[in-house]
Amino acid sequence: MTDPLVSVIVPVFNGVDTLERSVDSLLDQSLKALEIILINDGSSDGSGDLIDRLAARHPQIRAVHNPQNQGVHETRLNGLRAATAPWIGFLDADDIACPAMFERLHAAGEQHRADIVVCGAYRVTGDRKVISPKLRFRDNATITRDIFPRFCQFRFGTGMLWNKLFRRELIMPYAELHFPWRQNINEDLILNIACFKDADTVHLMKDMLYEYVFRDTSVSTSGSVEKACLQTLRAYAIAVSLFRDSGDEVLAEITNMYRQQLSWPPYRLDDTRAMSSFGPEIAEAVELIMRCYPAGLGGLTTTPPSAPMSLGRVVRALSRRFLGEPV
């Protein structure tokens, strides 16, 4: 294969039932100068053997094996360090890239001299029947002003990596963006924060080029409201710790973004007592926020008195309990 124009990173954990179909969608891309990096994250279902077989059959596939399960964020970082192309994309191991996806993203990135290109995506069933748009832009647009504030207002989507193409020079400095603990959800938003705060040009495409397979058992759609709130609070703590040297303006935008996310219906809590079992994890997150960006905790937890029970009110109560400090 000639030098690739795009590297696509595919983290794989126990994906033997869906991986081959997803990889086929990459092999069928109209852009042939594609490097496909399949990373086995300690799978126990035969995914590692399947990855090796696919790599043996197709020269554009590179097989990478984590020595042990590390989680999706560290797996993507391993993929970044393995990537060689000037543009970097991502695919989840059970989703589908439409045939012209990477050709169109790459062409738009080059034409508009963009640092990041974002396309639309459909939410589909396991047999690829469209459920609804997951993200859609009305028109193509090239954004060169207020990029980070717009990103933090979710004007470019909710922070997924898989519908974007990143210029190598933008994303590669964050190939060592390690977290202080393992983060199970919201980890892709943090890597996006890093890239969008540095981007000078973002191009939005109205083309619907990605099929996100809706999975009731996915990390983002399963588990309790309490666990989702906990993981999102901990993601915020990671974000302010990683970007604390980026200035108060950036930290304030990050805080507003997470406060908005925590106000959404999926994060509404009926009873603060439901969070009590997570006290040590909450305390760990609160302590990190207090150490790195003390103003953030007050900004994150500000809610109208009439608002439904929210994580902000839980954090205020539990931070007093576990830290013994007023917030």
Q: What is the dihedral of CA 152, 325, 308, 303, to 10 degrees?
A: -50
Residues 140 and 245 in one domain: no
Residues 296 and 166 in one domain: no
47 part of a folded domain: yes
Last residue of a domain, which of 180, 213, 246?
213
1 part of a folded domain: no
Strand 164-167 relative to strand 116-124: parallel, antiparallel, unpaired?
antiparallel
218 part of a folded domain: no
Last residue of a domain, which of 168, 191, 213?
213
Residues 235 and 304 in one domain: yes
254 part of a folded domain: yes
Any alpha helices (H) in the chain, and if so which ranges? 19-27, 47-57, 72-82, 101-111, 147-152, 168-171, 187-198, 225-242, 248-262, 279-292, 294-301, 311-323
Residues 101 and 166 in one domain: yes
pLDDT along the chain (327 residues), means of 10: 92 97 98 98 97 98 97 98 98 97 98 98 95 97 98 95 98 98 94 98 98 71 76 96 97 95 84 81 92 89 54 60 50
136 part of a folded domain: yes
Q: Which residues contact 305 (CB under 8 A, 6 or more apart)?
A: none
Residues 110 and 180 in one domain: yes
What is the reported pLDDT for 317?
58
What is the reported pLDDT for 26?
98
Residues 201 and 275 in one domain: no
Q: How far, rounded to the nearest angstrom, does the alpha carbon of residue 316 sit from its chain's CA centroid?
A: 27
50 part of a folded domain: yes
Residues 230 and 207 in one domain: no
CATH classification of the domain holding 58: 3.90.550.10
Phi-psi region of 90 (alpha: psi -120 to 50; beta: other; left: phi over 0): beta
Of 102, 231, 249, nearest to 164 by C-alpha is: 102
Please give the structure tokens belonging to residue 246.
């980026």
- DSSP assignment of 261-318 equals HHTSGGG--S-GGGGGGGHHHHHHHHHHHHHH-HHHHHHHH---TTSPP-HHHHHHHH
What is the reported pLDDT for 184?
85
Strand 164-167 relative to strand 130-135: parallel, antiparallel, unpaired?
unpaired
Last residue of a domain, which of 186, 213, 240?
213
What is the reported pLDDT for 95?
97
Q: How many domains does the chain have?
A: 2
Residues 230 and 256 in one domain: yes
65 part of a folded domain: yes
Of 300, 220, 294, 227, nearest to 259 by C-alpha is: 300
Residues 230 and 202 in one domain: no
Which domain does 312 fall in, by range?
225-323
Residues 44 and 10 in one domain: yes
Find where tokens 């974007």 sit.
164
The whole-model pTM stands at 0.92
Contact 101, 73 (CB under 8 A): no
Residues 172 and 233 in one domain: no
What is the reported pLDDT for 218?
45
What is the reported pLDDT for 221?
47
Residues 121 and 270 in one domain: no
205 part of a folded domain: yes
* Alpha-carbon Rg for the chain in angstroms: 20
